[in-house]
Amino acid sequence: MATQRLPEQQLKIGVAGLGLIGGSLALALRRAGHKVTGCNRSRAAAEYALVNGVIDEEGDVTRCDATFVALPPAATVDFICSRDWGDTVVADICGVKGYVEERVRALRPDIKFVGTHPMAGKEVSGVQNACADLFDNASMVLTRNIYTDERAYGLIKRLVKDMGFKRLVECSAQVHDKKIAYTSQLAHVVSNCYVKDGEIEGCLGFTGGSFQDMTRIAGVDEELWAELYLINGQNLIKNIDNLVARLSEVSSALSAGDKAALVSLLKAGREQFAAGKNNSFQGRDITTTLLK
pLDDT at 281 over 90: no
Find the mean pLDDT for residues 186-192: 96
Find the mean pLDDT for residues 90-95: 97
Strand spans (E) along 120-222: 139-143, 167-171
Q: Please count the residues of the chain.
A: 292
pLDDT at 29 over 50: yes
Binning pLDDT at 50, 70 and 90, where does residue 157 land? very high
What confidence tens digit (pLDDT) does each residue in 218-262 have? 988 899 999 999 999 999 999 999 999 999 999 999 999 999 999
pLDDT, position 94: 97
Angle at 80 between CA 78 and CA 85, to 5 degrees: 145
pLDDT, position 96: 98
Amino acid at 205: G
Binning pLDDT at 50, 70 and 90, where does residue 153 land? very high
pLDDT at 189 over 80: yes
Taken in order 14, 62, 227, 248, is the CA torsion positive or negative? negative
Binning pLDDT at 50, 70 and 90, where does residue 192 land? very high
pLDDT, position 229: 98
Binning pLDDT at 50, 70 and 90, where does residue 26 land? very high
Angle at 29 between CA 56 and CA 121, to 5 degrees: 110
pLDDT, position 133: 96
Q: Could you tell me the domains of the chain? A: 12-172+286-290 (3.40.50.720), 177-277 (1.10.3660.10)
pLDDT at 2 over 60: no
Percent of the chain with pLDDT over 90: 85
Binning pLDDT at 50, 70 and 90, where does residue 19 land? very high
Of the two residues 125 and 3, the one the predictor is more confident about is 125
pLDDT, position 158: 97
pLDDT, position 280: 60
The burial class, CB within 10 Å (0-12 / 13-18 / 19+), for 288 is middle
